[in-house]
């Protein structure tokens, strides 16, 4: 039997990058994959490729999440796994950062995780089993110049993960976070070569991570094999935080 056989998994920000790699991994592991993203073209294309389900969902919109979560539960009878992967950056120094840049990142990266977890956990409680995995970041552990908004959300996710783990643990739901390091997504790959070289130099194993390497950890934490791991943040960063 595959690791996630017949599990129902919602992946936010699932149309590209780490989210798309996760959708592919979960499908390989036998899950019923539901991709939530704002990118309809890429989301629908990936869903068609995988035989998955796509819905355009803004995770900063509570009502949209309620509606789409109900649609998933109505279709499959339950929701087993939530991967809170959606996130954005609006980088700027404090001096130049606008209130809008601050609020946009807070709304998606932090409030979105709270909204999705609050709504979807109710379906998990009803069945007595669930996995919630939140995307943090290594910068949430040690900060980063010009990313006060992003770092604030990723640090807060670590604390929120611990709290959720305490609240949901007795209800059969485990909650963990993953803190990726420098991962070779399309956005990163488009950076100048000298910037990429500088990033690689900070990683003890000397390379950027592959989105599949994050997806593998998501899949493990979502499985029965990780049934006694709860409230932790796992750094997947090639040793940056050593």
Residue 86 three-state SS: coil
Confidence of residue 1 (pLDDT cuts 50, 70, 90): confident
Least confident of 42-46, 74-78, 145-149: 145-149
Q: Is the pLDDT of residue 235 over 90?
A: yes
Q: Is the pLDDT of residue 32 over 70?
A: yes
Work out the percent of the chain whose per-residue pLDDT is above 90.
Answer: 87
Q: Does residue 241 belong to any structural domain of this protein?
A: no
Report CA dihedral (114, 117, 121, 122) to the nearest 10 degrees: 50
Model pLDDT, residue 93? 95
Q: Does residue 240 belong to any structural domain of this protein?
A: no
Confidence of residue 209 (pLDDT cuts 50, 70, 90): very high
The Cα-based distances of 187 to 127, 170, 183 in angstroms read 38, 39, 10
Q: Is the pLDDT of residue 191 over 80?
A: no
The Cα-based distances of 119 to 2, 47, 68, 69 in angstroms read 28, 23, 10, 8
In angstroms, how far is CA 154 from the centroid of its own chain? 11
DSSP string, 19-48: HHHHHHHHHHTT-EEEEEES-HHHHHHHHH
Question: Based on the structure, what is the number of domains in the chain?
Answer: 1
The dihedral sign for the CA sequence 125, 130, 136, 141: positive
Model pLDDT, residue 98? 97
Confidence of residue 197 (pLDDT cuts 50, 70, 90): confident
Longest dimension (CA), the chain: 54
Model pLDDT, residue 190? 66
Mean pLDDT of 36-63: 98
| Residue pair 180/194 in contact by the 8 Å Cβ criterion | no
If one counts every other C-beta atom within 10 angstroms of the C-beta of residue 214, the result is 26
Mean pLDDT of 80-88: 97
Q: Does residue 97 belong to any structural domain of this protein?
A: yes
Confidence of residue 193 (pLDDT cuts 50, 70, 90): confident
Give the integer Cα–Cα distance in Å for 15 and 43.
5
Q: Does residue 12 belong to any structural domain of this protein?
A: yes
Q: Does residue 206 belong to any structural domain of this protein?
A: no
Q: Does residue 157 belong to any structural domain of this protein?
A: yes
Mean pLDDT of 68-94: 96
Model pLDDT, residue 162? 98
Residue 190 three-state SS: coil
Mean pLDDT of 84-106: 95
Q: Does residue 140 belong to any structural domain of this protein?
A: yes
Mean pLDDT of 216-239: 97
Which two three-digit tokens encode residue 92?
Answer: 């700027």
Q: Is the pLDDT of residue 72 over 80?
A: yes
Tell me, what CATH number does 41's domain have? Answer: 3.40.50.720
Q: Is the pLDDT of residue 109 over 70?
A: yes
DSSP-derived secondary structure letter, 210: P
In angstroms, how far is CA 173 from the centroid of its own chain? 17
Model pLDDT, residue 192? 72
Give the integer Cα–Cα distance in Å for 182 and 203.
8
Residue 201: exposure state from Cβ atoms within 10 A (0-12, 13-18, ≥19): exposed
Mean pLDDT of 211-235: 98
Confidence of residue 167 (pLDDT cuts 50, 70, 90): very high
119 or 240, greater pLDDT: 119
Q: Is the pLDDT of residue 115 over 70?
A: yes
For this structure, is 62 an active site residue?
A: no
DSSP-derived secondary structure letter, 207: S
Catalytic residue, from 115, 150, 218, 228: name it. 150
Residues 6 or more apart whose CB falls under 8 angstroms from that of 139 comprise: 147, 150, 151, 154
Q: Does residue 188 belong to any structural domain of this protein?
A: no
Structural domain boundaries, residue 69: 8-183+211-234
Terminal-residue alpha carbon distance, the chain = 36
Supply the mean pLDDT for the chain: 95
């Amino acid at each position: 039997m595959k690791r996630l056989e017949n599990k129902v998994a919602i992946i936010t920000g699932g149309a590209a990058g780490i989210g798309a790699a996760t959708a592919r991994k979960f499908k390989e592991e036998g899950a019923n994959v539901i991709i939530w993203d704002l990118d309809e073209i890429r989301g629908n294309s990936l869903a068609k490729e995988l035989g998955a389900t796509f819905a355009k969902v803004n995770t900063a919109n509570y009502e949209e999440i309620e509606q789409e979560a109900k649609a998933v539960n109505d279709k499959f009878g339950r929701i087993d796994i939530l991967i809170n992967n959606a996130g954005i950056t609006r980088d700027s120094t404090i001096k130049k950062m606008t209130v809008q840049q601050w609020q946009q990142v807070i709304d998606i990266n932090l409030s979105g995780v709270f909204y999705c977890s609050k709504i979807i956990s109710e379906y998990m409680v009803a069945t007595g089993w669930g996995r919630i995995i939140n995307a943090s970041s290594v910068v949430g552990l040690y900060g980063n110049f010009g990313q006060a908004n992003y770092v604030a959300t990723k640090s807060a996710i670590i604390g929120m993960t611990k709290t959720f783990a305490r609240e949901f643990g007795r209800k059969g739901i485990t909650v963990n976070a993953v803190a990726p390091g420098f991962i070779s997504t399309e956005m990163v790959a488009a950076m100048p070569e000298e910037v990429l070289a500088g990033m690689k130099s900070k990683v003890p194993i000397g390379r950027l991570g592959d989105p599949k390497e994050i997806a593998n950890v998501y899949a493990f934490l979502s499985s029965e094999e990780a049934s006694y791991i709860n409230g932790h943040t796992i750094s997947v960063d090639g040793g940056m935080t050593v």
